[in-house]
Amino acid sequence: MAGDNKPREHVVVVGAGMVGLCTAWFLQEHDIEVTVVDRVGVAGGASWGNAGWLTPGISIPLPEPAVLRYGLRTMLSPSSPVYIPPSADIRLMRFLAGFARNSTQSRWRSAMGSLVPINRLALESFDILADGGVRGRTEEAKTFLMAYRTEAERRVMLEELEHIRAAGQEIGFDVLTGKDAQEIEPSLSDEIGAAVLLHDQRFINPGSYVGQLADAVRERGGEIRDGEVTAISDDGPQVRVTVGAQTLSCGSVVLASGAWLGGLARRFGVRTIVQAGRGYSFSVAVDHVPAGPVYFPAQRVACTPLGDRLRVAGMMEFRSPEAALDRRRIEAIADTARPLLRGADLDSRQDEWVGSRPCTPDGLPLIGRTRSRRVLVAGGHGMWGITLGPATGRLLADTIATGRVPAELAPFNPLR
């Protein structure tokens, strides 16, 4: 804690999504003053409309051999669950080349081993937030079903779960028949012939949760303001952060700006490409609201119960984060889910949304100091920013407050 006569340290956090706000909250635990700045406001990026899963058991590197099995021709189709626009630029092609190099079993195994230690901190970090007064609730997934048409489709996941266990990640599951799965979850159609039931996972309404996290940061004296950060300078006694026509001075700055991370971090030595992997979602009425998430891995469609509606999410679209919502992706998700769900009104959709996940070529986040000790980054989590946001913020706040890098962050060096 700061001494009575010592000025409080001040940190500016760029980004008001899950990762940025968790970092701000945990910095406040160390009695550090925080200002959070975001270009569009709280939960304006990938945090609002995603599936909201808290699933450390399956938080795995995105580059994997199964992704390459789609093939380039499939990925160019607008209805493909992994989509690459035909007009891909040089930067995207460089990202995809790196992604392909990392989509081998040996590299996946190494990256999975790097994620296991931070995955172990994921759920307890949410509990620390709750114990500290954050009003957002995490929901126990009373059921978390991964559903398949056939046992052959399911075989890939069973192999992957064994690889996850072999890497040291705890994951409990049961193997079910399609009939067993339908008895547990009546919203599954007769098309489902096999399933896996995961244990000990959770979920949240991500937009609501991140909003309540922002409230907690404000209530403890933090400032959250809208504005685009256009420049950062660390060549004086303090770091200067330019926000529009204003300049903020601080002791350190944390870049947690999601898919926009690379633009600000590059001049501080961060060369890893952070590519927008855009996901789409919408909500629908359903006759039976599931007791927990439902995932169709072969189709890469994720469903989450939010109140009396079902959020349906999917797609990994490698495209500019500023591109407009493409209705073809929404329709492709609905068409894919239609034969697999029973009693879901997929033609009367609400809350249609697109958000950009920040993806790295090796599937590992960028967390820690840059070439400047006063400029740090926290991003590149791909699909797992919600799950790993609190653990990331906790570990990075410890780094700033103590000057020591926790062992869990060693594999995520932003200068790698």
* Amino acid, single-letter form, for residue 50: N
Q: Are 17 and 50 in contact (CB under 8 A)?
A: no
Q: What is the pLDDT along the chain (416 residues), one digit of tens a residue?
A: 444 566 789 999 999 999 999 999 999 999 999 999 999 999 998 999 999 999 999 999 999 887 666 555 566 676 788 888 877 789 999 999 999 999 999 999 999 999 999 999 999 999 999 999 999 999 999 999 999 999 999 999 999 999 999 999 999 999 999 999 999 999 999 999 999 999 999 999 999 999 999 999 999 999 999 999 999 999 999 999 999 999 999 999 999 999 999 999 999 999 999 999 999 999 999 999 999 999 999 999 999 999 999 999 999 999 999 999 999 999 999 999 999 999 999 999 999 999 999 999 999 999 999 999 999 999 999 999 999 999 999 999 999 999 999 999 999 999 99
Helix intervals (H) in 69-131: 71-75, 90-101, 105-120, 122-131
Residue 82: its pLDDT value, please? 83
> Where exactly are the structural domains of the chain?
10-409
pLDDT score, position 2:
45
Beta strands across the sheet bearing 139-140: 53-54, 202-203, 139-140
Angle, alpha carbons 84-89-90 (nearest 5°): 120
> Is the CATH number of domain 10-409 3.30.70.580?
no
